[in-house]
Structure 1
């Protein structure tokens, strides 16, 4: 999937899913746009929803979408976590040793690759540090990926794709007020030149749609000052070596904004299918937009 994206200059959206409605919304968008898609879940998702539920719903979504669908572990903490998700039916895993000393990251990532490749499961590694908070893991500052070190890392570990740090960050507050959003495309180009046809991954790449922010705040929320990655920057990355772009915060904002709006306009409503369904449908619209206009993955299958 990612090599096809590399060769045809687009990126596959990797959307964090935690329940049936989010999976349905993402799969609906993928079917409508004829776009490949990655459904991904962290270990926290397993604790919230049980992996059996996630795998079963994802398998059904893939059948109905009728486009390539991968089920991916996001931010696996260790080898045992990766084994658990592989055995549960996930088709790819990410091992995140980016917080470890370099040699420990190499050793951990190599051990996951050796195990996963026995089962034809692909592995994503990470080099560099993203600021922000995601599912309990946080970092105060970003640490850009060193291209030469990235080549050494890829050669010694055998990873199938590599997440690098070029200026994205986790969460809704990616930049300080007044700070100009910037991605280090020079690092991306160097990494691509040193490692041709190695798919590159961007984490923390939500755009933080300001219409959804306004909707949430108007309906009693408080997410003032949230700023994301401009869509035009992500589209530029999609045309280069970036083949997988992670999205989590944007899904949360879309779902939350639509549900708040529905309940505000229908305060008597107690049928959760109605307001969660409204959130699911709005989420699908946001995902469709990304596939078509940002990731450039529409009409690929």
Structure 2
């Protein structure tokens, strides 16, 4: 099955009151885990890669070709999108598109609003004629994601959310509303009132970054308020690392990487299954 873009997935999710999981992948094993979990639950799925992960893999084309090969070898039948997460420049978004990615996020949130709009519009003008979906961010989501670190989160402004949708014709919007990348320090608090205002105003699918560590009731509330794409990364890091650490701590003679990395893969798959069920996308692949 060929890669698909994100727009159709999210439009269906928004109408069906569920969310599609975006799972960042950092190696072969994580990619296998995401695809296997999605196929098992018959869920559409988004494979996300940060620029840091792409550098680790060896390039945009490596990620795309590896994904296509795994889809074929594993007999994956569910819709799969390949997404550039937090693209830091127009140039990198174009590189991803030209390599075969089917969705990109241009993250101009760290720049003044006018520059964010300029960058986003340029990416949309390149992406849409090629059938590629575009995500943008308003505000600044705190925490650490790839090479991007923000210790001063900025909440999304309603007027700016409306303007970037009107001016750029983006396909989905990630407004900063209190979530954070990486493990939370303290209680996560999301501004659901503002989320509802933004959703009602922009009328396109919203994206929730930093979903790792949020409570299930917070996830469900976000979905009910127009969030159709939910990003998970830190929870998979934690699961992968915990599984491998247990093996190496319990067996000082362990040396075969296939054995302990394979256990890490199982832990990531289990986490993704849990998230897909929580997001409500299980069984939605054929809708």
Fold conserved (TM > 0.5)? yes
* Equivalence for 1:162: 173
Deviation at 1:62, TM superposition (A): 3.4
1:142 is paired with a residue whose SS is coil
Tell me the alpha carbon deviations over residues 240-293 of structure 1, each in whole angstroms, 9 at most, x when there is no partner. Answer: 31011111111110100001112223322211110000000111011001101x
CA distance in 2, matches of 1:168, 1:127: 13
Give the unaligned 5+ runs of structure 1.
Answer: 208-228
The equivalent residue for 1:221 is none
| TM-score (structure 2 length as normaliser) | 0.92
User: Secondary structure, in 3 states, of the residue corresponding to 2:222?
Assistant: helix
Aligned counterpart for 2:19 among listed residues 11, 15, 33 = 11
| 1:167-206 per-position Cα deviation (integer Å, ceiling 9, x unaligned) | 101111x233xxx43211111110111122x010011111
Matched, 1:54 2:38: no
SS at match of 2:86: strand
**SS at 1:40 equivalent:** strand
Residue of structure 2 in register with 1:217 after alignment? none
The answer (yes or no) to whether the contact 1:62–1:68 under 8 Å persists in 2 is no
Does 2:210 correspond to 1:201? no
Structure 2: where are the runs of 5+ without partners?
1-8
CA distance in 2, matches of 1:39, 1:263: 29
Equivalents in 2 of 1:187, 1:175: separation in Å? 22
Provide the residue aligned with 1:256 in structure 2. Answer: 241
* Residues 89-118 of structure 1: per-residue CA shift (max 9 Å, x gap): 100000000011011111110010001112
Residue 75 of structure 1: CA displacement?
Answer: 0.6
Secondary structure of the equivalent of 1:6? helix
TM-score, normalising length: structure 1: 0.88
Aligned partner of 2:196 among 182, 189, 201: 189
Tell me which of 221, 241, 255 is aligned to 2:226.
241
Please name the residue that 2:118 is paired with.
107
Q: Report the secondary structure of 2:245's partner residue.
A: helix
Q: Where does 1:1-301 land on structure 2 (aligned, <5 Å)?
A: 1-50=9-58, 51-63=60-72, 64-172=75-183, 174-176=184-186, 180-196=187-203, 198-207=204-213, 229-292=214-277, 294-301=278-285
Alpha-carbon distance in 2 for matches of 1:139, 1:44: 16
Distance in 2 between residues matched to 1:247 and 1:262, nearest whole Å: 24
Match of 1:211 in 2: none
SS in 1 for 2:181: coil
User: How many residues matched?
Assistant: 274
Q: Distance in 2 between matches of 1:181 and 1:132?
A: 12
SS in 1 for 2:82: strand
Deviations 1:124-157 (A, max 9, x none): 0110111112222222222111222211110001
Secondary structure of the residue that 1:163 maps to in structure 2? strand
Alpha-carbon distance, 1:232 to partner: 1.8
3-state SS of paired residue (2:284): coil
Cα separation, 2, equivalents of 1:30 and 1:107:
36
Indicate the RMSD between aligned Cα atoms, in angstroms: 1.2
